Amino acid sequence: MPLTGPVDGESVPGLFPTPELAPPAARGRADRAVRPGAAAARADPADPRQRGHDADRQLAFFGVEATEPAVGDLAGLLAGPAEGSVMGGTARLAVVVDDAWRVHVLAAELQARHVPTSWAAAGGGRHTVRTAYTRVLKPLVAAWLRGPAKRPPDAFHLDGRGLRLWFVAAGSMADSDVLLRLGPAAHQRVGAALAAVGLPASPEPGPDGLAYRFTGRQLLNRFAELVGDPPPTVPQVAWPYRG
């Protein structure tokens, strides 16, 4: 499904056009496929992108390779700073991101879930990524809204795909730590969902509001295992790797 494209005449940020994704049934293979011109990089044992990629590695339980992309994965965006709104029998999601690569990856991920998406400048080099109003999103967004306030539903849980989307939208590397920025709906249920996949943490104040910090080799390896390999457009220093 094509993107609805930039709105209000806004030119696209760098790294576009959005790449075509493989059909869901092929994602497990395509995520690891060697792209033209990438063979040399893939063969470099010094490249941190190669760590933990031996052929005998089993799929991580809850990891991105354990499931196919689904609309429910977008709960990971709502766990972060994304906002949802409902209009009649439809709903949409919107999130402000601070790097062009995040726009690029989110647009591709939303496209893989057949959700039309647009983007627009938000000032200060930031962009708003928003979906169209669609019936597909209504159950998810409605479950997170309590009146105008956002709050995780009782059934909220995380897996690798949801965590990956959250990191793409609002995660960052702080030295060797991982930071996951929260929105205004910080809630103990989000922390419980993180702990359930092996990432116990408590939110702490940061320059952009509350965020979860993951530090130490064990937690960082678990995080990297869950979110999987980086998309090809992501700067190497911006993505967590197994150590």
- Assigned domain for 222 exists: yes
H or E element, residue 27: helix 27-30
Residue 147: per-residue pLDDT? 83
In the structure, what pLDDT confidence band is assigned to residue 153 with cuts at 50, 70 and 90? very high
Residue 161: domain span: 61-238
Q: What confidence tens digit (pLDDT) does each residue in 188-215 have? A: 899 999 999 999 998 998 778 899 999 9
pLDDT of residue 181: 93
118 found inside a domain: yes
Q: Is residue 214 part of a domain?
A: yes
Phi-psi region of 62 (alpha: psi -120 to 50; beta: other; left: phi over 0): left
Spatial distance between the Cα atoms of 10 and 6, rounded to a whole number of angstroms: 6
Tell me, yes or no, whether 17 lies in a domain: no
Residue 13: closest CA among 1, 2, 5: 5
The pLDDT assigned to 72 comes to: 94
What does the pLDDT look like over 16-40, one tens digit per residue?
Answer: 434 333 333 334 433 333 232 333 3
pLDDT value of position 185:
63
With contact defined as beta carbons under 8 Å apart, do 27 and 21 qualify?
A: yes
CATH of residue 81's domain is 3.10.28.10
Is residue 35, in this structure, part of any structural domain at all? no
* Digit-coded pLDDT (tens) for 64-116: 555 678 999 999 999 999 999 999 999 999 999 999 999 999 999 999 999 99
Share of the chain above pLDDT 90, in %: 58
Tokens for 93?
Answer: 């999601």
Number of domains composing the chain: 1
The sign of the dihedral angle between the CA atoms of 36, 28, 157, 140 is positive
Taking CA atoms, 32 is separated from 22, 38, 163, in Å, by: 11, 11, 19
pLDDT score recorded for residue 18: 40
* C-alpha span between 237 and 222 (Å, rounded): 18
Q: How confident is the model at residue 184 (pLDDT cuts 50, 70, 90)?
A: confident
Mean pLDDT, the chain, whole residue set: 78
26: in domain: no
Tens of pLDDT, residue by residue over 217-226, are 999 999 999 9
Q: Pull the structure tokens for residue 3.
A: 């993107």
